[in-house]
Homo-oligomer: A and B are copies of this chain.
Amino acid sequence: MAVVTSALVRKLARFMSLDPLELEALGRLERARRTVRADTDLVHERQTEHTAFILEEGWAFAYKMLQDGSRQVIDFALPGDFMGLRSVLLRTSDHSFAAVTDIVVAEISTRQMIETFQRLPRLGVAALWAASRDEAMVVEHLVSVGRRDALERTAHLLVELGLRLEFVGLGTAASYPCPINQYYLADALGLTAIHINRVLRKLREQGLVTVRDGRVEVHDLKGLRRLADYHGGYLDQEDEPEG
């Protein structure tokens, strides 16, 4: 059997070492793959049946729509991320999930998850770790939207995405693919796409970062982190020097 490590395995391996049994169980969780087209929903808000997903390939996002048609993006999911773990226990999912790009997900039933984590408790702990890391990101996101200005919060998101992608081996903090357009950025950061455009221009003019053609190129990581007041501790990974 070929050694294909999924993004999830790469991520969890950074948290703890995985023995063959655990690797095999993860492989089984990730077996039931399914493709979802860009721009389509995986789970819709207030849906009652609860399955969770592991994102295998592509980018997705969690969001919530409001009365007036405006949208708040809660978080972006990258390969290796769980989606919908949070709402497995709640009776109704509190928000929706959709694909940014075409994506591949592994669907896991609640029953299957419980069975696996009961048999291999260390995997359960790892999943909890991943979940609390995700929640810490949402908290940081709230801090950004509540108390950082447009420039700072945009910088913050761009730094965070780079670190997360580096974590699963899909880019580096200084340069990574990013299929997120200015509308997504706006809805994530509580701004308008028009203003995001001006913000990105300013970040470019200040020699900090360029966002173009589906790529983010960071020219001055230190400067970008300083602007964002970025402290990556909540990602629970070895911090870069000059954190």
A interface list, Cβ under 8 A from B: 46, 64, 66-67, 70-72, 74, 86-92, 94-95, 125, 128-129, 132-133, 135-136, 138-143, 145-148, 189-190, 229, 233-234, 236
In contact, B146 and A72 (Cβ under 8 angstroms): yes
A229 contact from B66, B138, B234, Cβ within 8 A: B66
How far is it, in angstroms, between the C-alpha of A71 and the C-alpha of B72 when the chains are bound? 22
Chain B residues near A136 (CB-CB < 8 A): 86-87, 90, 94
A90 contact from B64, B91, B234, Cβ within 8 A: B234
A94 contact from B46, B72, B88, B233, Cβ within 8 A: B233
In contact, A66 and B143 (Cβ under 8 angstroms): yes
**A91-B236, A147-B190, A234-B90 known; A139-B74 Cβ under 8 A:** yes
A233 contact from B46, B74, B88, B135, Cβ within 8 A: B46
Chain B residues near A70 (CB-CB < 8 A): 147
Q: Can you add 17 more A-B contacts, CB < 8 Å, to A89-B129, A138-B139?
A: A66-B147, A72-B142, A74-B142, A74-B143, A86-B132, A87-B136, A88-B132, A89-B132, A90-B136, A90-B234, A91-B236, A94-B140, A94-B233, A95-B139, A138-B142, A142-B145, A145-B190
Chain B residues near A236 (CB-CB < 8 A): 90-92
In contact, A94 and B145 (Cβ under 8 angstroms): no
In contact, A72 and B129 (Cβ under 8 angstroms): no
In contact, B138 and A72 (Cβ under 8 angstroms): no
How far is it, in angstroms, between the C-alpha of A147 and the C-alpha of B141 when the chains are bound? 13
How far is it, in angstroms, between the C-alpha of A9 and the C-alpha of B125 when the chains are bound? 25
How far is it, in angstroms, between the C-alpha of A70 and the C-alpha of B148 when the chains are bound? 9
**A70-B147, A142-B72, A146-B190 known; A92-B132 Cβ under 8 A:** no
How far is it, in angstroms, between the C-alpha of A189 and the C-alpha of B23 when the chains are bound? 43
How far is it, in angstroms, between the C-alpha of A133 and the C-alpha of B93 when the chains are bound? 11
Pairs of residues from A and B, 3 with the lowest C-beta to C-beta distance, nearest first: A146-B190, A94-B234, A72-B146
How far is it, in angstroms, between the C-alpha of A74 and the C-alpha of B227 when the chains are bound? 22
Chain B residues near A86 (CB-CB < 8 A): 132, 135-136, 139
How far is it, in angstroms, between the C-alpha of A141 and the C-alpha of B74 when the chains are bound? 10
**A135-B86, A136-B87, A145-B145 known; A229-B67 Cβ under 8 A:** yes
